[in-house]
Amino acid sequence: MKGKIVPAIMLTLLLTSMLTLAFNIQPVKATGAIYIRADGSIDPQEASISTIDNVTYTFTDNINDSIVVERDSIVVDGADYTVQGTGGGDGIDLSSRSNVTIRNTQIKTFQYGIYLYQSHNNSISGNNVTTSDVCAIMLYCSSCNCVSGNNLTGNNYGVFLRDSPNNTVCENTMANNQHSIYLGYSYTANNTLSGNNITDCWYGIELFEAATNNSIVGNNISDNGLGIHLWSGCNQNTFSGNILTNNSQYGIYLGYSASNRFCHNDLIDNTQQAYAYPSGYANIWDDGYPSGGNYWSNYTGIDLCHGRYQNEAGGDGVGDTQYIIDENNTDRYPLMEPYAGPHSLHLSKTIVGQGYDVSMTATITNNGEQTDTFNVTIYANQTIIDEIYNINLTGRNSTTITFTWDTTGFAIGNYNMTVCSTSVLDETTDNNSTGGWILVTIPGDVDGDLENGRYDVDLYDAVRLLACYGAKEGDPNFDPNCDIDNTGQVFLFDAVILLSHYGQTAWPPE
């Protein structure tokens, strides 16, 4: 016991020496817009929001107006209380904010439920947003944000990304919206949409006006009007592992869009499975052999042969004849059974100190019927960080591999993490999955915010680490980004690392 008390006392004394902000607990109730000011104060003071550290702001009652956040690197916890509007304005305004978390909030009847403009590295999670006149969650000119685990129901648009790159929209539930997820305009690129459940909407996932190089993976899109809809110059996007079922108009509708890749999707009982307009726009509908194409419930072919040309005796889970959409859009290797699932990459943290480690786990799936051997590569942007060779997998089975990335020698900045597997039997066939973004920054910069345009280690980082000090992986208050030395626990060495870099700053890459 004594051994634990001494480090805790040392940590408290060290952090207390840096705490120059006055703590205040601010009580309940207000009408009119509520502001969380840049200095940490709440305006008006009688608002139904409390804080003891100017970092975590918790609702204490329902609120009948908008909330405007003017402070970075904070958590706004709705505690399942409601922000109620009358049809106009923004429920929560996050314009020009970074490293803000909005969670556990009920937001009803605004023009925009949550609005982000020129905002970066924010987290919107576990909220219930309903009856938004325009959009439940809007990202405009915003990047590197994560929208996850929200319930979006009865809105015009569920999630709208306009001119917004490098965001993640995952594990959300959307129902009875006119439009569920909408990506629009040329700067809306390199976003990942994964694991969303979209039902009973008119449009499922839409890409419009030159939205390119986005990854749409593992979504369930069922009982809508149009499942996936692309229009006007939306090229070079990837769609894999999605389930599209019982959509009343089209499973997939492509208008004036080309060079998109569709593989390992299940298209089941849609009124029209896929349609490309006009027919001269060619897209890619399979991942080569033996990886295969998509599962089409109305495919009438047989599986008596195998091989790249399907001319060798013995079935392989791939149809012997092509599935033809039109003369420029053909699945050469339609699957005979629904797809088993995509590869995936899970990151243990999203912020890591330069020179320290971050762990990640990759799930590799053999989607064919026969035993195959895979080589697996993990990338940070375009740089290989690890490789494993000759992983044997029987058909329709998966395995999980753990990797550790030592960030020594990597420049400060954001890195897109990707897992790629190559079949040894067919080295032309790759299967890629994006795991998300990791920020490499100054050790101790656990919130990854920009102060005057630079990353820094400051008081807010110290307070955030103190809030989870002693927590272990699996504890409800464990923050993996505060586990600087990657030991699975936030403890004394993490505090020492932070303090040794306290006050340091670094410019982000241009």
Query: Are residues 435 and 474 located together in one domain of the fold?
Result: no
Residue 196 has pLDDT above 80, yes or no: yes
Residue 215 has pLDDT above 60, yes or no: yes
Average pLDDT over residues 343-361: 88
Contact at 8 Å (CB) between 405 and 384?
no
Q: What is the pLDDT of residue 451?
A: 78
Query: Are residues 495 and 374 located together in one domain of the fold?
Result: no
Query: Are residues 72 and 120 located together in one domain of the fold?
Result: yes
Average pLDDT over residues 336-363: 83
Beta carbons within 10 angstroms of residue 267's beta carbon = 29
Angle, helix 459-467 to helix 492-500, in steps of 10 degrees:
180
Query: Are residues 408 and 499 located together in one domain of the fold?
Result: no
Residue of higher predicted confidence among 448 and 144: 144
Residue 195 placed within a domain: no
Q: Which residues contact 221 (CB under 8 A, 6 or more apart)?
A: 198, 204, 205, 227, 228, 242, 243, 244, 245, 247
Please, what is the average pLDDT of the chain?
89
Question: pLDDT band for position 225 (50/70/90)?
Answer: very high
Average pLDDT over residues 251-272: 96
Query: Are residues 433 and 490 located together in one domain of the fold?
Result: no
Query: Are residues 425 and 459 located together in one domain of the fold?
Result: no
Q: Which of 145, 112, 144, 148 is nearest to 129 (CA)?
A: 112
Residue 2 has pLDDT above 70, yes or no: no
DSSP strand pairing (383-393 vs 372-380): antiparallel
Q: What is the pLDDT of residue 428?
A: 39
202: Cα separation from own chain's centroid: 23
* CATH code for the domain of 427: 2.60.40.10
Task: Choose one of 413, 440, 467: the last residue of a domain.
Answer: 440
Residue 272 placed within a domain: no
The per-residue pLDDT for range 139-163, each reduced to its tens digit, is 999 999 999 999 999 999 999 999 9
Question: pLDDT band for position 434 (50/70/90)?
Answer: low
Query: Are residues 424 and 485 located together in one domain of the fold?
Result: no
Residue 56 placed within a domain: yes
Query: Are residues 26 and 75 located together in one domain of the fold?
Result: yes
Query: Are residues 390 and 482 located together in one domain of the fold?
Result: no
Q: What is the pLDDT of residue 348?
A: 87
Residue 332 placed within a domain: no
> What does 460-483 look like in DSSP terms, one character per residue?
HHHHHHHHTTT-BTTSTT--GGG-
Query: Are residues 460 and 350 located together in one domain of the fold?
Result: no
In angstroms, the CA 314 to CA 274 distance is 29
Identify any residues that bridge with 124 across adjacent strands, giving them in sequence order.
Answer: 102, 147
Considering only 12-26, 118-132, 428-442, 496-510, which range has the smallest mean pLDDT?
Answer: 12-26
DSSP 322: P
Task: Choose one of 144, 177, 210: the last residue of a domain.
Answer: 177
Q: What is the pLDDT of residue 326?
A: 96
Instruction: Read off the pTM.
Output: 0.70
Residue 305 placed within a domain: no
Residue 376 placed within a domain: yes
Considering only 142-151, 258-267, 470-479, 494-503, which range has the smallest mean pLDDT?
Answer: 470-479
Residue 186 placed within a domain: no
Residue 27 has pLDDT above 70, yes or no: no
The per-residue pLDDT for range 41-56, each reduced to its tens digit, is 999 999 999 999 999 9
Q: Which two tokens stand for residue 204?
A: 């499922």
Query: Are residues 158 and 19 located together in one domain of the fold?
Result: yes
Question: pLDDT band for position 176 (50/70/90)?
Answer: very high
* CATH code for the domain of 496: 2.60.40.4130
Q: What is the pLDDT of residue 342?
A: 52
298: Cα separation from own chain's centroid: 32
The per-residue pLDDT for range 303-325, each reduced to its tens digit, is 999 999 999 999 888 999 999 99
Query: Are residues 349 and 434 located together in one domain of the fold?
Result: yes
- Kindly report the length of the chain: 510
Residue 220 has pLDDT above 70, yes or no: yes
Task: Choose one of 156, 177, 198: the last residue of a domain.
Answer: 177
Residue 231 placed within a domain: no
Domain that holds residue 428: 344-440
Number of domains in the chain: 3
Residue 407 has pLDDT above 70, yes or no: yes
Question: pLDDT band for position 382 (50/70/90)?
Answer: confident
Residue 291 has pLDDT above 70, yes or no: yes
